């Protein structure tokens, strides 16, 4: 008979049972419900937060005309509360604003699904695994640094989404899981983008708006990049190794049964498609397509129109060269597009939050509050407050360059008043762009990657939030403290 100080077995089981019910319930909730509730909350805030505006001027920044906040021009205005009458068309506005990105996702998903159907990627991956043997885990830091470098130098972000359909079967064939592929893919892109070395959307625009010489202070940013990429690699390798030793600890164990069939990926070499001349041709054409993509991004300044057009042709030429009939090629393309339709809707819905805050004229009020707080804190806290302010605005705006145009003209003049290094202001802003964005429940890009990889979105969110809170943010704050200590300029 248990004593009064000892819980019964039923009492001991209750918390675990309760957690299981919560997890099970969350797994059944569509992320669109989360976005809808967030939109309702933002709409309610428009009835509470007073309206306010900064004056803006249009100026050329890095060859593009941008609307820039005028420092010190904030003034209160009447807010425009967002009720149903104001919001009934807002989803369509979000869909139109993100149409180019949505079509790139659909075209790339269709193209890669058709390529996978040829068996070329399956055959190529098994050939690679046979050659590398037990050193397969070394692919993780190689891919992390490669993708992170692309994000840190020329700002690759959404353009990397199609790579998940190559990385996922690679990880599954090596005995890891699909969630490992998502971590490798999105964490390296998001973190690399945030600790950019020459990233045009954070470093270049931020320095231009702050009046800092272009790409000055590169050595310290390289140090930050190496630290972040090394830590990210270690965290992912630790998880992947644990999964390979004990598959029951995988965050995508249930989904991977279907993923191995869908992506034609299995550690069992006997199930691999044989390497034929047509599959070799398909792999060469696919490699050529990705080479053209990287060259276009690096040297031609490609946007979503050119990227979408490239994947349109990849989806036609490579599958037919790999052995599919024209009818099979079309069917597989449509199948791939259908698989990401919910993700496309999610990305359109995620735009709604910005429109609500912007139309209500309360976005500048939020920014002005945090900026005004800087004048009331000790100097050693300034970098952290700037980091937090930029992180919140980046999560609300969903655009690095848009956040720069909104935040930097306000924070940079305050740095002059506080006798604070503008280089650290830029560093705090760019690191803040990676604090929240890659694990927010309304992040359409994360949902797209999870959908294409076939993993549970909320399990990804939980793991990524843990990574951000326990790893990314503490490391960012330590590096900012180091920058202050060495008077980084």
**pLDDT digits 0-9 by tens, 305-358:** 898 899 999 999 999 999 999 999 999 999 989 888 888 888 777 778 888 988
Query: Phi-psi category of 26—alpha, beta or left, where left has phi over 0 and alpha has psi -120 to 50?
Result: alpha
Whether residue 17 lies inside any domain: the answer is: no
Whether residue 104 lies inside any domain: the answer is: no
Report d(CA 252, CA 410) in Å as an integer: 44
In the block, tokens 């997890």 appear at 23
Whether residue 320 lies inside any domain: the answer is: no
Whether residue 11 lies inside any domain: the answer is: no
Residue 475 in this model has a pLDDT that exceeds 60:
yes
Min mean pLDDT across 11-25, 34-48, 383-397 is at 11-25
Q: What is the pLDDT of residues 211-253, one digit of tens each?
A: 888 888 889 999 999 999 999 999 999 999 999 999 999 999 9
Instruction: Please give the residue that has the higher pLDDT: either 129 or 229.
Output: 229
Question: What is the span of the domain harbouring residue 455?
Answer: 27-97+120-272+340-485
What pLDDT, on a 0 to 100 scale, did the predictor assign at position 194? Answer: 92
- Tally Cβ neighbours within 10 Å of residue 485: 9
What is the CA 40 to chain-centroid distance, rounded? 24
Closest residue by Cα to residue 273 from 264, 282, 281: 264
Six-digit token string for 63:
């060859």
- Tally Cβ neighbours within 10 Å of residue 193: 26
Residue 478 in this model has a pLDDT that exceeds 90:
yes
pLDDT band at residue 63 using 50, 70 and 90 as cut-offs? low
What pLDDT, on a 0 to 100 scale, did the predictor assign at position 14? Answer: 45
Report d(CA 400, CA 393) in Å as an integer: 10
Whether residue 361 lies inside any domain: the answer is: yes
261 burial type by CB count under 10 A (0-12 exposed, 13-18 middle, 19+ buried): exposed
Upper half-sphere CA count for residue 81 (Cβ side, 13 Å)? 7
In the block, tokens 């990305």 appear at 347
The residues pairing with 416 across neighbouring beta strands, listed in sequence order, are: none
This prediction's pTM: 0.80
Six-digit token string for 54:
């900064």
Percent of the chain with pLDDT over 90: 34
Whether residue 229 lies inside any domain: the answer is: yes
Whether residue 475 lies inside any domain: the answer is: yes
pLDDT band at residue 1 using 50, 70 and 90 as cut-offs? very low
What pLDDT, on a 0 to 100 scale, did the predictor assign at position 314? Answer: 93
**What is the 3-state composition of the chain as percent helix, strand, coil, each rounded to the nearest 5?**
75, 5, 20
Whether residue 35 lies inside any domain: the answer is: yes
What are the DSSP calls for 5-62, one per residue?
TS--HHHHHHHHHHHHHHHHHHHHS-HHHHHHHHHHHHHHHTTTSPEEE--EEEEEET
Our count of domains for the chain comes to: 1
What pLDDT, on a 0 to 100 scale, did the predictor assign at position 272? Answer: 62
Min mean pLDDT across 1-15, 312-326, 435-449, 474-488 is at 1-15
Q: Which residues of 383-419 are buried (b: 16+ CB within 10 A; e: fewer)?
A: bbbbbbbbbbbbbbbbebbbbbbbbbbbbbbbbeeee
CA–CA–CA angle 454, 116, 146 (5° rounding): 75
Q: What is the pLDDT of residues 389-436, one digit of tens each?
A: 888 888 877 777 778 877 888 788 777 767 788 899 899 999 998 888
Residue 265 in this model has a pLDDT that exceeds 70:
yes
The residues pairing with 75 across neighbouring beta strands, listed in sequence order, are: 53
Radius of gyration of the chain (CA): 24
pLDDT band at residue 470 using 50, 70 and 90 as cut-offs? very high
């Amino acid at each position: 008979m248990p004593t009064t100080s000892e819980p019964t077995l039923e009492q001991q089981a209750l918390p675990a049972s309760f957690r299981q019910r919560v997890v099970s319930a969350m797994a059944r909730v569509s992320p669109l419900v989360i976005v809808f509730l967030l939109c309702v909350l933002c709409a309610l805030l428009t009835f509470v937060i007073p309206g306010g505006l900064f004056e803006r001027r249009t100026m050329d920044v890095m060859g593009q005309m941008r609307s820039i906040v005028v420092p010190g021009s904030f003034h209160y205005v009447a807010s425009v509360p967002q009720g149903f009458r104001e919001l009934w068309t807002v989803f369509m506005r979000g869909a139109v604003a993100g149409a180019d990105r949505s079509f790139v996702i659909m075209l790339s998903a269709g193209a890669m699904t058709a390529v996978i159907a040829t068996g070329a990627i399956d055959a190529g991956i098994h050939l690679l695994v046979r050659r590398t043997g037990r050193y397969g885990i070394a692919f993780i830091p190689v891919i992390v640094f490669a993708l992170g470098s692309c994000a840190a130098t020329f700002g690759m972000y959404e353009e990397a989404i199609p790579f998940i359909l190559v990385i996922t079967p690679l990880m599954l064939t090596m005995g890891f899981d699909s969630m490992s592929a998502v971590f490798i893919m999105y964490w390296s892109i998001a973190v690399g983008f945030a600790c950019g070395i020459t990233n045009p959307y954070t470093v270049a625009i931020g320095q231009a708006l702050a009046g800092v010489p272009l790409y000055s202070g590169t050595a310290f940013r390289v140090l930050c990049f190496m630290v972040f990429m090394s830590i990210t690699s270690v965290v992912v390798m630790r998880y992947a190794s644990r999964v390979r030793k004990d598959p029951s600890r995988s965050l995508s164990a249930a989904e991977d049964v279907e993923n191995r069939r869908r992506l034609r990926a299995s550690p069992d070499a006997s199930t691999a498609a044989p390497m034929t001349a047509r599959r070799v041709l398909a792999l060469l054409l696919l490699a050529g397509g990705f080479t053209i993509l990287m060259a276009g991004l690096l040297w031609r300044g490609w946007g979503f129109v050119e990227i979408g057009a490239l994947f349109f042709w990849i989806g036609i030429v490579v599958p037919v060269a790999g052995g599919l009939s024209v009818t099979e090629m079309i069917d597989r393309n449509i199948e791939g597009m259908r698989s990401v339709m919910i993700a496309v809707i999610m990305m359109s819905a995620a735009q709604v939050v910005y429109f609500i805050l912007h139309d209500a004229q309360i976005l500048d009020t939020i920014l002005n509050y945090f900026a005004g707080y800087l004048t009331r804190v000790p100097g050693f806290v300034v970098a952290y407050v700037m980091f937090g302010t930029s992180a919140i605005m980046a999560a609300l705006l969903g655009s690095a360059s848009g956040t720069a145009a909104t935040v930097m003209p306000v924070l940079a003049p305050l740095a002059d008043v506080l006798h604070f290094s503008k280089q650290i202001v830029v560093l705090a802003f760019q690191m803040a762009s990676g604090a929240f964005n890659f694990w927010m429940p309304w992040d359409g890009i994360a949902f797209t990657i999870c959908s294409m990889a076939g993993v549970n979105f909320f399990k990804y969110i939980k793991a990524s939030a843990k990574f951000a809170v326990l790893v990314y943010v503490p490391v960012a704050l330590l590096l900012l403290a180091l920058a202050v200590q060495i008077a980084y300029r």
